[in-house]
Structure 1
Amino acid sequence: MDYGIEVRDQEAVVRLRGRLTFNDHAKLRTLIGEMGQNKPRRQVLDLSSLEFVDSAGIGMLLIAREEMDRADKQFVLRAAAGQVKRVLTVAQIAKIVPIED
């Protein structure tokens, strides 16, 4: 997994690329720390370039949500497609984390 962050006035958009798996735990922890430091209250994970997510990746997204709650930031997932969208749907993540198209 790779990522890029674009900080705007109202939100920070983090674009995830590649695959989000158990092996990305340390990298995602670093990313979560960066998101907590961003000035905008709204933190968006853009999943449009994410090709694959496994169950550990889903767990890490939930950890990110918890950390953003602690930092008093809004956490949103955006633009999931393909396998990632199917996994998020099956796991019913939308009940926990807002998902935008």
Structure 2
Amino acid sequence: MQFEFVGNDACVRMTGDLTFTDHVAFKTMTDRLFGGTDQFVTMDLAKLEFIDSAGLGMLLLARDVADKAGRKLVLRSPGGQVKRMFGLTKFDTLFAVEE
């Protein structure tokens, strides 16, 4: 997985695959993402090509961090395999998902 922050660090654009091997980079990214004061934080998944069960688990952890901080995590534009995984696992009911 690669990531880049957009604007004021309240939005991150993720690309590539999100798998277990990305847990350190994901933690670094979420520390920065939730380090600000914005009420809403966004993960743009439009260019994320693949997610496995560990990647889904990392998103759940990020949601928990957001909840504890009183902030809202929004997942934007999942497509392809990522969108299919969200449908199969009902992640689209656990998160605010923008198409």
Sequence identity percentage: 37
Residue 40 (structure 2) aligns with = 42
Instruction: Trace 1:12-91 onto structure 2 (pairs within 5 A).
Output: 12-91=10-89
What one-letter code is carried by the residue in structure 2 that aligns with 1:87?
M
Aligned partners of 1:19 and 1:52 also within 8 Å: yes
Which position in structure 1 is the counterpart of 2:3?
Answer: 3
* TM-score normalised by the chain length of structure 1: 0.92
Residues paired across the two proteins, number = 99
Q: Decide whether the 8 Å contact of 1:21 with 1:57 is kept in 2.
A: yes
Q: CA RMSD in A?
A: 1.3
User: How far is the alpha carbon of 1:3 from its aligned partner?
Assistant: 0.6
Runs of 4+ in structure 1 displaced over 2 angstroms? none
Q: TM-score, length-normalised on structure 2?
A: 0.94
- Alignment partners' CA distance in 2, 1:64 and 1:3: 15
Distance 1:38 1:7 in 2: 12
Measure, in 1, the Cα distance between the counterparts of 2:81 and 2:36: 29
Gaps of 5+ in 2: none
The secondary structure found in structure 2 opposite 1:90 is: helix
* CA deviation profile, 1:30-77 (whole Å, cap 9, x unmatched): 111111112311101100010100010000000000011111111010
